[in-house]
A and B are shown apart, each in its own frame.
Chain A
């Protein structure tokens, strides 16, 4: 956050930053800290270097969940009145033109049914829980980018901790998206033309949880996540769940290893070739690895891909599994 100090800032217009709020410990803590940060800036200098646009994305279906989420947002707004709070549903991602909806098997131009029902129907049709979690995260990220651009934000601040970034590193590695790690872990430039920043990247999740427990106004606001545990039914577990559980146990005994994973991923540089080809689903530049890609692919899916004459193969390795079969 050094670039957002008031002193030395030659610009008089504060920058707008999009702030996704999930009501979890990490994003709520970051909001609390930044609110105090801005308060201090204003009290000293009578001006601020940046403004926050706080956005919450609803992922849930039922009306009760939506009402609960709306009440929660009102609580946050009452606690931190300085900022602008907005709310969106994940189904609004269906309006995004950049996503190759035909490959996903969604006809977004039909007017039958409401967008929410259409999205839920699509998600219910995905057989693999890992694929379902995967597409939700992709749509969420791309929707945030669109909201940020629409609100003239120069950057998106994520509340991801070291533990979260380490989970993401291994999760994307296990999904075949190693090529995308620099775009997803490092600060500043992203694949979408808007900056991604992770101010909490040096903090472990357990440290954040401790911070919340000693901050009374935060304790009553946030939604505590359940401690991850692998369920007895393997069919309902996702790769994300497995990595979450793995790193939650790792950071207790081996916190240095968790930090080491993030430092390692931060050393990678983006692929310089073929940045023109972007994946039609996740939007990250992907270059075809001619040496191994045909063999890393599943033979069955490769055959089916070859059977589509009009389809250009512009999907990254991880998103090929999401294509409708």
Chain B
């Protein structure tokens, strides 16, 4: 077969076959088309407004590096008028995060963007190395995920920025949709399909410009533009924890590459089919934006190189146990009705039991609606009285045996007092 020419410019030899639609393109046209598609996504969703300050969540990995590169290019080409800043979170993992942060520092120089690094030890008093020492490797991803989500928002607030851009791509989103279908979490599925979470009333909004970009094409784009990125995975999250939803997505992509976009389309349509009772859409200004009351699953993915630690086999086991407990609760409720019916006279047992059971079936189920509030400890948004990070932090602090003096670490302490506490804790 003779080498094909680029479908777009017809001049150069095609080097890239897009997995989305099997289009054959040369290097320059592929880069251009990739950027144009993201531009279309941005303009259609009206993600940005002129003069806005944008924080790019930068981990040094390929997704955040590509989103930074594309945003810089489009900001110059189409004059968005954006003020772009790189925002990195230092989890405190030696041998991994310090190396990836070196990559982000080089990116900041290459892209001429300011860089802000926020550390876990600065916000919480714990590094992930210390957390792993305390709780072991098994459950540390939960701590890291909860801390990082909050850290990104708090870092943005430090800079006075209300809009954070993440590098979640189409593969991540398709995986989220499948996983939320398996979990039966329709409100979260609806929120995760929105390209931007939160509205202008929220403190910090998040958007995903790479929502429709395939992971394979992100790698190709980074390769052809010779972008500098860090590709080692988190040392506390080995590859063995890849989730079943992820492998399902990859198998689907192999069978039909467009399945990833098809799943996203289905997710968007399903979000429209969810009744208002189940979702928080009635509180929104428009259907495109959803109030962000809980990010716990949709932001789990893609944070450390795209592996989904939350959807490991362990989570499937936990979900199964939870569902079985729910089944028991439902059947116990039914038995209560049955035992109550026995107290009725013998002649009426059959009919009244049936009536009671049928009325049980017909009674509308009450759906618990999450309402956005603030944590009483740190003021971060939470649907509970205290947010997840503060709960985890309290558990960690209680188990800290090295502290000789009982000092209660408060997140809202002033920097001066925090330094004093840090010096006291240093010997431990």
Contacts and interface: CB of A to CB of B under 8 A. Distances in A.
A296 B278 contact: no
A269 interface: yes
B39 to A, nearest CB: 11
Nearest to B268: A292
B323 A296 contact: no
A254 B320 contact: yes
A318 B268 CA distance: 14
Nearest to A258: B182
Nearest to A235: B255
Contacts of A234: 254-255
Interface in B271-328: 272-275, 278, 287-288, 316-317, 319-320, 323-324, 326-327
Interface in B203-257: 212, 248, 251-252, 254-256
B323 to A, nearest CB: 3
B140 interface: no
A175 B174 CA distance: 12
A234 to B, nearest CB: 5
Given A264-B184, A298-B21, A298-B258, A254 B267 contact: no
B248 A246 contact: yes
Contacts of A242: 248, 251-252, 255
A169 B181 contact: yes
Interface string A64-96: 000000000000000000000000000000000
A174 interface: yes
B259 A175 contact: yes
A109 interface: no
Contact of B41 (A178, A295, A317): A295
A200 interface: no
Interface string B312-356: 000011011001101100000000000000000000000000000
A295 B258 CA distance: 12
A268 B274 CA distance: 5
B177 interface: yes
B178 interface: yes
A178 B255 contact: no
26 contacts: A173-B177, A174-B262, A176-B258, A176-B266, A178-B268, A237-B255, A253-B316, A256-B319, A256-B320, A256-B324, A260-B184, A260-B323, A264-B181, A264-B186, A269-B273, A269-B275, A271-B272, A292-B44, A293-B265, A296-B261, A298-B261, A300-B21, A301-B21, A317-B265, A317-B266, A318-B262
Given A173-B177, A261-B182, A179 B21 contact: no
A172 B248 CA distance: 14
A126 interface: no
A225 to B, nearest CB: 20
Interface in A163-206: 169-170, 172-179, 181-182
A320 to B, nearest CB: 10
Contacts of B21: 298-301
A317 B182 CA distance: 22
A295 B194 CA distance: 14
B269 interface: yes
B262 A170 contact: no
Interface string A248-275: 0000011111011101110111110000
A289 interface: yes
A176 B229 CA distance: 33
B323 A256 contact: yes
B265 A292 contact: yes
Given A260-B183, A300-B23, A317 B273 contact: no
A128 interface: yes
Contacts of B261: 176, 296, 298
A254 B327 CA distance: 13
* Secondary structure dominating the interface of A: helix
B252 A289 contact: no
B113 to A, nearest CB: 27
A317 B262 contact: yes
B20 interface: yes
Contacts of A265: 181
Closest 8 A/B residue pairs (Cβ): A178-B266, A256-B323, A176-B262, A179-B269, A178-B269, A296-B265, A268-B273, A264-B184
B40 interface: yes
B263 interface: yes
Interface of A: 128, 130, 169-170, 172-179, 181-182, 230, 234, 237-239, 242, 246, 253-257, 259-261, 263-265, 267-271, 289, 291-293, 295-296, 298-301, 317-318, 321
Given A178-B270, A261-B184, A289-B265, 16 more contacts: A130-B256, A174-B259, A176-B261, A179-B270, A246-B248, A256-B320, A257-B316, A257-B323, A260-B183, A267-B275, A269-B273, A269-B275, A295-B212, A298-B21, A299-B20, A317-B262
A128 B256 CA distance: 9
B256 A296 contact: no
Given A289-B265, A293-B265, A267 B278 contact: yes
Of A130, A170, A271, chain B has the most CB atoms within 10 Å of the CB of A170
A293 B20 CA distance: 15
A190 to B, nearest CB: 16
A273 to B, nearest CB: 9
Nearest to A263: B184
Residue among B44, B268, B326 facing the most chain A CB atoms (10 A cut-off): B268
A43 B178 CA distance: 48
Contacts of B151: none
A263 B254 CA distance: 29
A253 B324 CA distance: 12
A212 to B, nearest CB: 24
Contacts of A296: 212, 261-262, 264-265, 268
Nearest to B189: A264
B323 A259 contact: yes
Contact of A295 (B44, B256, B320, B326): B44
Contact of A238 (B255, B262, B264): B255
A239 B255 contact: yes
A291 B316 contact: no
B181 to A, nearest CB: 6
B182 A239 contact: no
Contacts of B212: 295-296
Contact of B319 (A177, A237, A254): A254
A279 B256 CA distance: 22
A227 to B, nearest CB: 17
Contact of B23 (A175, A176, A246, A299): A299
A172 B255 contact: no
A254 B278 CA distance: 25
Contact of A174 (B263, B269, B274): B263
A128 B255 CA distance: 9
B270 A181 contact: yes
Contact of B182 (A182, A230, A257): A257
